[in-house]
Every structure is written in C-alpha cells, then in structure tokens.
Amino acid sequence: MADPLRLNLDLDPAPYRALHRPTGARFVEVLDQRALPHAQIMVKLADADTAALAIGSMWVRGAPLIGAVGAYGLAMALDLDPSDAALASAHAALDATRPTAVNLRWALDRVRRAVASLPASERADAAWREADAIVVEDIEINHSIGQHGLQLLREIPRRRSGPINVMTHCNAGALATCGWGTATAPLFLAHADGLPIHVFVSETRPRLQGANLTVWEMNQRGVPHTLFVDSASGLLMRRGDIDVVIVGTDRVACNGDVCNKIGTYDKALAARDNDVPFYVALPSPTIDWSLASGDGIPIESRSADEVLTAVGRDENGNTGKVAIAPAGTRAVNYAFDVTPARLVSGLITERGVARDAQSLSALFARAA
C-alpha cells in the first residue's frame, strides 16, 4: 500500500507536513494550525468525531486539506461501524463542518462511492486506501499547478527591475493542502529554480492566515516576503509594487466565478483598476460543475468574536486573545467572497491555464 508520508516527502521536500498517516496507522496526525506560527503541535485524529472537530474548529483548514481530513474521518468511522447507517451519518457529520469549500463534499462522496458496493468487512480498508489516494493525488496536482504557474511567472512583464513581486491572500499553501499548496506551488518552484520572486502576503483578518501561516511557510522555505495589512493592497498595486496576484480558491463555478477568502474580491478589483494580472490557482476537485455561477455558493458566516478580538503572543511569550472593540459591538464575519469571472485573468489548474469558462470546460472535457 502507498505510504502517503513517504510519497509526501518525496514529492514535496518541505520540512513540515499539514497531515500525515504513519504507515499502516488507523489514525492520522495533523499540524494544529491554531498554534502557528508560535508553536508546532502535531495532534492525533483517531476517530470521526475528532476529525470533524478538527475541521470545524480550524485545527486544519484550506479546501484540499479539509477534504483529505474528511476522507480519513470517514475511514475512521467505518473502522468502528461499517454499516450503511454509520457511513451516512459520518458523511453527514463531516460534511456539516464547513460549508464553502466544495473539496470536502467531493472527498467524502469519493470515499463513499468507493466503499458503497463492498461487503461491510472490506469497507474500512477500502476507505483508508481511497483517502491515501486523495492525499497523493493532491500533492501531484499541486506540483502540476506549480509547473504551469511557474511558466506564467516567467512570462509576466515586470514593472520594476528586481524580483517578480507576487501578491497572495490568506493561505493557499502546503498548510492548506497535502503538499506544495496551490497558489504557493508556483512560488516555491520559482524560488527553487532560481527565478527571483518576492511575495507580498496580506495579513488576512480576522483569523490572520496570511500573517500566521503563509509568512511561516515562506520562512520555512526561505522565500523572500513582505507582510502587509489587508487594506494596503490597492495602494501597493497603484504604486507599481505588484507584478501579479495569485490566490487560491474554495470553490469555482462553471462560469469561472471564484469563491475565496474574504477580501479576495477587493484585490481583484484593485488589480483590474491597475492592470495587474489576477490569477487563481486551483485543483480540479475545487470546481463545482453543478453550479452555473458563484451566486449559488454558500458563504460561511463565522462568529463575531473573531472580528472583535485578536490572538497573538506578547513580549513575555504568552499567547492570548485580546478585545479590539468595545464590548457589545455588532460585527459581521463572512469568511469568503465571490470574485466574478470577468476580473480573473486565468485559472491555473493541473492541466494548464484556463482563460475563461469554455477553456476550463475544455481542459476537463466537460460541456460548457
């Protein structure tokens, strides 16, 4: 049987892993992303309820990663009870954890399909194998995205002499996937290949995935980078400081509308106004072929507490949460937004770059 950890290490030589299954284990270990960048804590997920908690409470996050953890969660449920009823109930519980990224449903459906017609005694092993396959494929897909994105980077006209300046948002890195990341794969490959790049990372309030996670990944891989506050993206583009924007996505509709972390739409608008190319990197499981447009994508609404507080480490090394607004302040916390296809220069997939909905369909041999 394929050992995802071994293949993971072979396929993405990063010194960290968001997820791995030790050989033959009936559990997985995940990096608790709530603790980054201050501490690296691996947490064991040994049952479906804990896997669901890890996804819902964002110990793990990022569209492809929650799909993979969900798939393993289903395998853990079948270890305990391989009946149809247990399969349906674990599928529903895991699927209910986060609504926006379609990869979660995709992975759960894939595991369910792989086991549904098998005798009960064979179901759990088959589910573990399918989850392993999802992990390995994700790393391979991201590597291909990286190669297509690297080609794009080589051709991007530079506004200034010096490195190619790339803006990214949130974390669409190896921490959001099983390896390489999507938006970050071209950046990591470019850096490894000696193509000079500099990554501008938006902090990504309220949960600070950019400041906490993407910056950490850039440090781990030695990629030059600069952190900026979310509201500075327009200015940076207007100053000519940015050559290209590359972001990830949680769900792409058939017409090429892109759902991603809140604030992505603002960056796409600023990019269009300043003639900065705006690319989205995505693995094919992120495409929702059932949705005609982005209007049908469910937008996760999270606790107001995330907006009203900030979590960080003080000068004494103590990590904690502080209030940043008067008690009782009303706050909205939509976690994602939709960028219309007309603002997207191209979709970087594992099969190449799609410039519009027709070419996206053609790449994956679907009727537009």
Binding site for ligand MRU (CB under 6 A): 61-64, 101, 170, 172, 176-177, 181-182, 209, 248-250, 260-261, 335
Minimum distance from residue 106 beta carbon to ligand MRU (Å) = 13
Q: Which of 132, 243, 250, 257 is catalytic?
A: 250
CB nearer to ligand MRU: give 36 or 114: 36
Please tell me the distance from the alpha carbon of residue 212 to that of residue 353, in angstroms, as a whole number.
29
Strand, helix or coil for residue 279: strand
State the nearest-atom distance from the C-beta of 360 to ligand MRU, in Å. 17
Beta strands 352-354 and 244-247 are unpaired
Clarify whether 250 is annotated catalytic: yes
Phi and psi of 313, rounded to 5°? -115, 135
In the bound state with ligand MRU, the residue whose beta carbon lies nearer, of 170 and 268, is 170
Q: Which is nearer to ligand MRU, 103 or 255 (CB)?
A: 103
Nearer to ligand MRU, 32 or 81 (CB): 32
- Asked if 276 and 245 count as a contact pair (C-beta separation under 8 A), the reply is yes
- Residues with Cβ within 8 Å of 284's Cβ and at least 6 positions away in sequence, in order, are 141, 349, 350, 351, 364
Q: H/E element holding 310?
A: strand 309-313
Looking at beta carbons, which residue is closest to ligand MRU?
A: 248
Q: Degrees (nearest 5) of the Cα angle 63, 1, 49?
A: 45
Compute the least distance from the CB of residue 176 to ligand MRU, in Å: 3
CB of 367 to ligand MRU, least distance (A): 26
Would you call 140 helix, strand, or coil by DSSP? helix
Distance of CA 330 to the CA centre of its chain: 29
Residue 76 near residue 121 (C-beta atoms within 8 A): no
Q: CA dist 270 to 31, 258, 261, Å?
A: 34, 16, 16
In the complex, the smallest distance separating the C-beta of residue 356 from ligand MRU, rounded to whole angstroms, is 21
Quick one: 68 or 76, whose CB is closer to ligand MRU?
68
Gap between the Cα atoms of 203 and 322, Å rounded: 17
8 Å CB contact between 282 and 349: yes
Output the smallest distance, CB 78 to ligand MRU, in A. 26
- Active-site residue set: 250
